[in-house]
Amino acid sequence: MKKHIVVIAGDGIGQEVTAVGKQVLEAIAQKYGHEFTYDTALIGHAAIEATGSPLPDETITKSKASDAILFGAVGHPKYDNDPSAKVRPEQGLLGIRKALGLYANLRPIKLFDELLSASSIRPEILKGSDILFFRELTGDVYFGEKGRSEDRNTAYDQMIYSRYEVERIAKKAFEAAMTRRRRLCSVDKANVLESSRLWREVVQAMAPQYPDVVVEHQFIDSAAMLLIKDPRRFDVVLTGNLFGDILTDEASQIAGSMGMLASASIGDTTGLYEPIHGSAHDITGQGVANPLASILSVALMLDISFGMKAEAEEVVAAVDSALKAGYRTRDIADADTPGGMILGTEAMGSQI
């Protein structure tokens, strides 16, 4: 099969982990006789430096013309300390999601058995955890109107959802639940927020179409608590953009590290595949970043965008066997990991 992939590595460790993800794509292409061609495009801080824009038009054009996007990360500490910056790397990521209509962000929380001890949560609570998050990606407070009063002492971000936005992602989450353990937890803050009341109303109205799916509703605060108290109670979790962003960082601790969490952003056009972690400038250039989230994102790409199920399973199995053999990156090593088994980014990629 021939596929054209745009690699948008972005900032910080995005460059390092995406290079490894691409190597895995090449290994799969060779083994299965596929022909993958590549292009690159700029985003985030790297794009601001080169063009003045966090999302150059050329990046959108190339992305739309591709079969899939392998994405790294955006961000730079200089903007974190400059709240008045008008142009920011994150605008590139939000912008490409909007431009491509990528409204559904799938974030599987897969706990590899070998990493039970890497988590700060007790193994007897964790073992067997397997959650699929659906984070809505093109609405909510991230895209609502924002502004400041004239004296700049008051600021607002509008939290906004429309019925169709909730319906289309809820449909994807219900359908996924039908292929899994048939439980769907919708997370909102309907006791306080009007947009959450609409969210809950829509999900409740759709539930009768999926009589085999057991639906529950949790408030975000309660869901955050239950996630670490009893992660196995969750199967598919459906939530909005902001709540999903926060909850999945928390859920990464179930998998042992932020460096383990892959994601797929899908919707109207080309799918975008990226680790959930950011640019991590504190470790950039040291060659120690965990590439497994990028590699697992490649597995999602092979499965979802290319329909290459066997190839996707082989990538996940390769990750599993490297972990079984005892190889670890720094973030998933524990006190018992021998120093010689702690690998850098490239060496871990070679093992896979």
Annotated ligand binding at 245? The verdict is yes
Six-digit token string for 62: 């190339």
CB of 142 to ligand GGG, least distance (A): 6
Closest distance to ligand GGG from the beta carbon of 71 (Å): 6
| Active-site annotation holder among 189, 210, 303, 327 | 189
Q: Are 63 and 100 in contact (CB under 8 A)?
A: yes
Q: Which amino acid is at 208?
A: P
Beta bridge partners of residue 217, listed in sequence order = 186
Determine if residue 157 is labeled as part of a ligand binding site: no
Query: What is the spatial distance between Cα 241 and Cα 135, in angstroms, rounded to a whole number?
Result: 6
Q: Is 221 a catalytic residue?
A: yes
What's the token pair of residue 187? 């997370």
The answer on whether 249 is annotated among ligand-binding residues is yes
Q: Which residue has the tokens 């709540």?
A: 243
Inter-residue contact 190 to 196 (CB < 8 Å): yes
Q: How far is the CB of 199 from ligand GGG (least distance, A)?
A: 18
**132 in Cβ contact with 151 (< 8 Å):** no
Is 268 one of the annotated active-site residues of the chain? no
- 135 known member of a binding site: yes
For residue 289, the one-letter residue type is: A
Closer by beta carbon to ligand GGG, 89 or else 116: 89
Concerning whether 189 is annotated as a catalytic residue, the answer is yes
User: Is residue 271 at the binding interface for ligand GGG, with CB under 6 A as the rule?
Assistant: no
Check binding of 275 to ligand GGG (CB under 6 A).
yes
Q: Which is nearer to ligand GGG, 13 or 173 (CB)?
A: 13
Question: Which residues from 298-327 bind ligand GGG, rule CB under 6 A?
Answer: none
- 16 belongs to the binding site for ligand GGG (CB under 6 A): no
Residues 69, 63: contact at Cβ < 8 Å? yes
Annotated ligand binding at 107? The verdict is yes
Query: Is 88 annotated to bind ligand?
Result: no
| DSSP letters spanning 73-89 | E---HHHHT-TT-SS-H
**Footprint of ligand GGG on 58-97 (CB under 6 A):** 73-75, 90, 93
For ligand GGG, the binding residues in 242-261 under the rule CB under 6 A are 245
Phi, psi of 27, rounded to the nearest 5 degrees: -60, -40
Which of helix, strand or coil describes residue 95?
helix
Strands 236-239 and 130-136 come out as parallel
Kindly determine how many residues on this chain lie close enough to bind ligand GGG according to the rule CB under 6 A.
Answer: 11
**Which residue lies nearer to ligand GGG by CB, 297 or 305?**
297
3-state secondary structure of 30: helix
* Residue span binding ligand GGG (CB under 6 A) among the ranges 22-30, 154-162, 250-258, 271-279: 271-279
Structure-block tokens of residue 346: 């490239």
User: Considering only residues 56, 278, 291, 349, which one is a binding residue for ligand GGG as defined by CB under 6 A?
Assistant: 278
Which residues sit opposite 122 in a β-bridge? none
Q: List the catalytic residues.
A: 142, 189, 221, 245, 249
Residues of each annotated binding site for substrate: 97, 107, 135, 221
- Chain residues binding ligand GGG by CB under 6 A are 73-75, 90, 93, 245, 274-278
